[in-house]
Amino acid sequence: MNIFGCAVGVVLVRNVILPVVYPLRLVSLFQYIEMRFRSRLLRKYATACQLTSCYIYVGICLYAPSLALSSVTSLPTWASVLVMGVVCTFYITIGGVKAVVYTDVLQTLVMFFGVLAVVAGRVPGHRRHHPGVGGRRGRTEAGVFQRALFRKAICFAQSQRPGIHHPGRFFLCRAKPVRSGVASRLALTSIPIPSLDTSPFARHTLWSTLVVGVYMMISFLGLSQSQYQRFASVPTLAQAQMLALLFFLGLTLLWGTFYVSGLVAYAIYSDCDPLNSGKIEKADQIIPYMVSDKLGHLTGMPGLFVAAVYGGVLSSLSSEGNAIACVVWEDFLKERPYFRDISDRSATNVIKCLSSLTGLIAIGVGLLAGKLGTIYYVISLIGAVIAGPLNGLFLAGMVIPWTNAKGAWAGMTFSLALNSWMVIGRTDENTIYDISYCYNGAIGIISNLVVSSLVSCCTGPHLPGDVEARLVYAPCARLYRSLFLLVGGGGGGAVTPRSRRSDGSGSGNAAQAGLILRKNDY
């Protein structure tokens, strides 16, 4: 269901974020922070938080395919992490952005068709013995979809009466008799009913998956340095907005393939969990194990699947590695005295060295990632702690025109501390620490917006005209101007905006300065 949340998130990215950041033609997305709040220190603070998140993310990305390879071969996980880390570091260092673009295209195609081949190999049917009429044992061919939904219904029926709402379950089932072939039997068919449980402690519900879908698109599509570089490479805003829609289309197809592969694995191993039986060490290994166990007789199939997994992960790793090097150079090194006057060739060599350093850090984090939990869960928690507050900082600048630098500092610091506290204190009881991880990113955004807005109001908010019009989402700027005029803040004729302090908070008030909005300020 989070794909519906992603649809909402893509609309927000297309209509709110891109119209603000694309026309600025930035090298580093964090230049916007300095331009909007007129604080270079705040920009570096935000960049440092993003780099911390990215370094952990690339390490986990490197660890993911190593799990797949260790499931279908005897190669240890640590060896796979080391080898693939060196290979990926080599080509992003030597080839730069051009190598990243070419390999991204190839790796995405291999990833999609590799997983599609695995699904096609198991979807036609799954043989299974089952009791026939009169206690005799028969042999039938049941499709994996029927099999998976059948098992879901059984599990639910064993827990409580069919059709009764059960908090915390995402899909509920109902039972009804059906006939199959010439034999009469009572089967359970599953009717997916999204759980409407409003408890924030329920791990997956309709509401939590919608929220996490919106958050994912804002974080990974709208306010990501690697994605921004792709948007900035096209010549017009309209094309960048079209790219966002095409991204969602591709994401839907790709996720659909992944979901079906999970359904196939569920149908096959519903009666014999490889994790409980000790055949695999982590839940992330279930699909690679299925390929090795059920499709190993098909020549080249395990290799094709491993190539698909590596293609997807290394595509992310190469993009993030290049983006990290670009951000470090632009935000930390470029203006330092030693690097300020170096030639373009020397700057390129420095960026290549930064790419190599990123690869080494990814290898180190990848070797430690096995102790952190399942991959998706860990990435979600990291995003909640760091990316949520960071996204809130960008959105505060775009949609809250009166936010000043003091408010931005306060909002970022508070939301970062709040999310860290919630994740570190996680327990097994229904406390604030145990709110579903799906809400953590949204909590970071909302807490940042609220705190930054309140602190700005208390410390001298920006008046209409204090901030460049291009740095604020236009409808929000017009609404703020209208409200400002409605409460009598405008006075009489046209004058220039008030003077600005170095921290961007401004000084004086409208009455003292005799301020009136200029017509074209927003």
Provide mean pLDDT across the span 70-93: 79
Weakest mean pLDDT among 166-170, 241-245, 356-360:
166-170
Percentage of residues in the chain having pLDDT higher than 70: 72
Weakest mean pLDDT among 226-230, 287-291, 343-347, 426-430:
426-430
Mapped onto helix, strand or coil, the DSSP state of residue 131 is strand
Angle at the Cα of 492 (from 490 to 495), degrees rounded to 5? 80
Tell me the residue type at 415: S
CA pair distance 268, 329, nearest whole angstrom? 50
pLDDT digits (tens, 9 = 90+) for 262-275: 888 877 887 778 88
Q: What is the DSSP string of 426-463?
A: --SSSSGGGS-HHHHHHHHHHHHHHHHHHHHHHH-PPP
Q: Could you tell me the pTM of the whole model? A: 0.77
pLDDT digits (tens, 9 = 90+) for 123-147: 554 444 444 333 333 333 345 555 5
Provide mean pLDDT across the span 400-404: 95
pLDDT reported for residue 429: 65
CA pair distance 219, 10, nearest whole angstrom? 11
Provide mean pLDDT across the span 435-458: 92
Residue 513 has pLDDT above 90, yes or no: no
CA pair distance 210, 206, nearest whole angstrom? 6
Percentage of residues in the chain having pLDDT higher than 90: 27
Domain boundaries, the chain: 3-124+192-372, 375-487
Bridge partner residues of 126 (DSSP): 142
Q: Are 459 and 451 in contact (CB under 8 A)?
A: no
Q: Which two tokens stand for residue 289?
A: 């194990």
Bridge partner residues of 142 (DSSP): 126
pLDDT digits (tens, 9 = 90+) for 146-157: 555 555 544 544
pLDDT reported for residue 66: 77
Q: Which two tokens stand for residue 156?
A: 């639910």
CB-based contacts of 444, cutoff 8 Å, min separation 6: 384, 385, 387, 388, 389, 390, 391, 392, 415, 416, 418, 419
Residue 113 has pLDDT above 80, yes or no: no
pLDDT digits (tens, 9 = 90+) for 38-50: 999 999 999 999 8
pLDDT reported for residue 42: 95
Place of tokens 């993009």: 319
Q: Check: CATH 1.20.1730.10 for 3-124+192-372?
A: yes
